[in-house]
Amino acid sequence: MPPRILEEYRRETAPALMKKFGYKNPMMVPRITKISVNVGVGEANQSPNLLEDAVQTLRKITGQQPSVRRAKKSIANFKLREGMPVGAMVTLRKARMWEFYDRLINTAIPQVRDFRGMSQNCFDGHGNYTIGIREQIVFPEINIDKVAKIRGMNISIVTSAKTDEEALELLKSLNFPFKRD
């Protein structure tokens, strides 16, 4: 069974975007292609358990095994050597991506403290949207009592839209919680 939000995209969003932007071919309609979730663990060189904790957290949140990211260059001021682990990341596609998007907009983002909506200025100029979450405990899969350290994460929603305006309309039609102007 396809994810609920994917069905909504196919049934309502795609035809509405086709009509609004005048696309002649259904393949021209912008869609979400992948979602990337990144967690930085700068202190991983002092305590390897922090990196393992970040990997476990990402695994619970996304349902997929994260890959450990390593430093590309040595930086003496940060006591960082090339090849040392500095974070973890997951790239979600297809059904897992749509399920994660659904949980993100309906359960996780509204749990953020003092939430009044997400900024519309986080687009990169090519139709991709990136947000930062300061606490991983906004996700219901995380048990607050077992969290060793509060850690933030970056979530990038990559779309096939050519412009930020098209991507904004796509995310608005998929009920992304933007600030009201």
Q: In sequence order, which residues have a C-beta less than 8 Å from that of residue 132 and are 6 or more positions away?
A: 152, 153, 154, 155
**Can you read off the two tokens belonging to residue 140?**
């219901």
**Can you read off the two tokens belonging to residue 152?**
């933030």
Q: Tell me the pLDDT tens digit for each residue of 107-139.
A: 888 888 888 888 899 899 999 999 998 888 888
Q: Tell me the pLDDT tens digit for each residue of 39-56.
A: 988 776 677 788 888 899
Q: Which of 76, 25, 74, 55 is nearest to 151 (CA)?
A: 55
pLDDT for the residue 181: 62
Report d(CA 90, CA 38) in Å as an integer: 7
Report d(CA 25, CA 17) in Å as an integer: 11
Fold exhibited by the domain 4-19+33-173: 50s Ribosomal Protein L5; Chain: A, (3.30.1440)
78/69: higher pLDDT: 69
What are the boundaries of each domain within the chain? 4-19+33-173
